[in-house]
Amino acid sequence: MAEPIYTVASDSETTGEDRSAPIFPEIAVGIDIGTSQCSIAFWNGSQVELLKNTRNQKIMRSYVTFKDDTPSGGVINELSHEYDMLSGAAIFNMKRLIGRVDTDPVVHASKSLPFLVQTLDIGVRPFVAALVNNVWRSTTPEEVLAIFLVELKMMAEHQLKRPIRNVVLTIPVSFSRFQLTRVERACAMAGLQVRLMPEPTAVALLYAQQQQQQAVHENMGSGSEKIALIFNMGAGYCDVAVSATGGGVSQIKALAGSPIGGEDLLQNTMKYLLPNVESIFSHRGIDEIRRMGLLRVATQDAIHKLSFQSSVQIDVNLGNGSKLCKVLSREEFEMVNSEVFEKCKNLVNQCLHDARVGIDDLSDVVVVGGCSNIPKIRSLLMQKSKKKALYEGMNPLEAAVSGAALEGAVASGIADPFGSLDLLSIQATPLAIGIRADGNSFIPIIPKNTTMPARKELVFTTVKDNQSEALIVVYEGEETRAEENHLLGYFKIIGIPPAPKGLPEITICMDIDSSNMLRVLAGARLPGAHHPATPFMEVKMPTVDDGHGWCAEALHGKYGAAMDLVSLQKKS
Amino acid sequence: MVSNPTRPMVGLSCKAATTKGPDYYKLLSVSSGCNASGEEIKRAYRAMALQYHPDLVCDPLLKEQSTKMFVQLNAAYKTLSDPVLRRQYDDSMMGLNNGYSYERRGFEVDRTVWQRQILELKRRSACQRDRSVSWGGRMRARNYSEC
């Protein structure tokens, strides 16, 4: 135990508790918990394998049923029929709600689900509840997520005959760091140490492995670089990535994502089939929930069929004497959802633009996720990329979880004799991170699509003579106005030496380490001074907790511009 | 232009992003220097990433250093993989090729190369340590570190 310890930098001490043990002392499994479906995969020594539950399913449904006091999830729970979700006791689609406050449009769109989602529009978490014995039993998205995780963990431990402590969990690109902390909290509740991986980057890693194996097989050495466009659309989220792949290394060049998905297609179609759908179900009685569920199941079924046939007959008895009989054509479905498809196209355009990649540079277009069978989605991507065919090499429902399992194996440091794990996923930041300055502007310090780990800094200055304090409000997002981005936290630096405005140099440095932890360092000094006037403050982000959506507003109300900053124009 | 020489930000080690010092070609181990083709630079970056990306460094003590190294590699790759930035960089390196600046640059190169060598040596010794100890020893060490 007399090994020398090389750590000298003081900043590693403050985070030492996170690093003292290797993150992956054993092989991590990959988990994909989608808005509607979940799955778990592991590296079996030679390849990735998906686990099956007792009903022989590899892809399980993401819902939790509350009965009496014991909730049980869709992994283990035996549900006889889809219609069991009509009682109001089944909670699902929680991935769409995690880490969101009740002013969020995505939360409002979830109010048509057959259980209770109530909003008060004050910036706190929504009230979510299941109907159990005629009483509303409240729950949280984190609790529901933790139940899935515990069930998947138990299933894997039983089958693999070893304890599972480490997982790679896939997440949507558009999740803010605040949402990530909620996901991490759910994992902690389930007793799991987690590494989070954006879904399309997991798919990109699987693609990199397939290309590498092909190159080895064809004896081409590491091959030349291939640019892939990855499009992943599930029930809740649409994600796009552009990756550059070669020699087993997958480098993410750009990411784009939005909370649009199959759920929006479903709701638009429901509204089209039954225009007064919202008023019919406004009361949330047991009957309304039942009818809402019936319509949902029938519409879902119809949308699935429209992927393979040009029209579908819908026949559903909604009770109360009302009956819905209608033929829905594929054209109608596409027309009703034209806005969703337009948004998908915009995400692809944006991602290609951000990656600075031309359509001719694309080697492959990979389309995965629950919506990948929809003809309009496929034609849209083929049109956009001017390709006659999409990439065929992977199962669209298993790609993300397989990629996560690969990342788990790679990060665990195990070697594969055939080189199947000589892989690396180089990630990029999905959103810009910066501070509020120059009035009410968002000034990015780490821009979007910066390769991670990353470290960047900018210099700011004071707005008032003899200003001794400055407020650092950290945001994440892409909007120019600060308050339209996700608030991650705030702190103030004090003891700025007295000086005319515009003179002190306030350096803000942001650091994302290999475990994706964000730290913000801030310090002030006068030009020419060799030492900072105050010791550098180092703050881990995010620091805000639930229900703090109004903090930035309150800060502004209390302090006005008294502690503001502006960017310092460097004299050249 | 040279009137504002490198002014280190005291207390912050963000120098990789701000100093004009390091020779990006040497950093990426591109043997043919500024004559290298785009494909050569890509290949070199991938090889260096496989060696220094912190995800592939299992020893937690080396993670910090490999992270710093990888951030420098990225700065180099970002410049050299962009034709416009690369030309600017090449020009600036030619222009700096005299007097004080040259010496500074030489120092920076030496420093990064030196850092890399140290890191590589530590990495190797960590690997050997792993291999030379018996299975039982490794398990004990692991259990110990998990406590």
The reply to whether B60 falls in a domain is: yes
On whether residue B81 sits in a domain, the answer given is: yes
Query: Which chain A residue lies closest to B64 (C-alpha atoms)?
Result: A12
CB interface of B with A, residues 63-82, below 8 Å: 63-65, 67, 70-71, 74, 78
For residue B65, the enclosing domain spans 21-146
Q: A41 vs B26, which has greater pLDDT?
A: A41
pLDDT digits (tens, 9 = 90+) for A414-433: 888 888 899 999 999 999 99
Quote the pLDDT of residue A469.
92
DSSP letter, residue A470: E
Question: Is B2 part of any domain?
Answer: no
pLDDT of A282 > 80? The answer is no
pLDDT digits (tens, 9 = 90+) for A124-172: 889 999 988 888 899 999 999 999 999 999 999 999 999 999 999 999 9
Backbone angles phi, psi at A261, to 5 degrees: -175, -165
The residue out of A177, A195, A213 marking a domain boundary is A195
> What's the CATH number where A520 sits?
2.60.34.10
Indicate the number of domains in chain B. Answer: 1
Chain A residue with minimum CA distance to B123? A6
Q: Name the closest residue on chain A to residue B7, using Cα atoms.
A: A528
pLDDT of residue B16: 37
Provide the domain limits for residue A154: 29-195
The enclosing domain of B107 has a CATH number of 1.10.287.110
pLDDT value at residue A383: 94
Q: Which of A480, A475, A374 is nearest to A434 (CA)?
A: A475
Q: What is the pLDDT of residue A12?
A: 32
Judge if ipTM > 0.90.
no
Does residue A295 sit within a domain?
A: no
What total of structural domains would you count in chain A? 2
The CATH number assigned to the domain holding A169 equals: 3.30.420.40
How far, in Å, are A42, A117, A152, A155 from residue A160 at the CA level? 9, 38, 12, 9
Each residue of A329-388: pLDDT tens digit?
999 999 999 999 999 999 999 999 999 999 999 999 999 999 999 999 999 999 999 999
Instruction: Report yes or no on B12 lying in a domain.
Output: no
Look at residues A195, A212, A237 and tell me which one is the last residue of a structural domain.
Answer: A195
C-alpha closest to that of A394 among A222, A202, A564 = A202
Q: Do A426 and B78 touch (CB under 8 A)?
A: no
pLDDT of residue B110: 55
Domain membership flag for residue B6: no
Cβ within 8 Å of A, B 94-133:
122, 129
**Cβ separation A451–B46 shorter than 8 A:** no
Q: Which of A195, A219, A240 is the last residue of a domain?
A: A195
Is A182 strand, coil or helix? helix
Q: Is residue A439 assigned to a domain?
A: yes
State the SS3 of A103-129.
CCHHHHHHHHCCCEEECCCCCCCCEEE
CA–CA distance, A116 with A332 (Å, rounded to integer)? 30
User: A496-528 pLDDT, tens per residue?
Assistant: 999 999 999 999 999 999 889 999 999 998 988
Looking at CA atoms only, how far is residue B127 from chain A in angstroms?
A: 12
Confidence of residue A547 (pLDDT cuts 50, 70, 90): low
Mean pLDDT of A426-446: 95
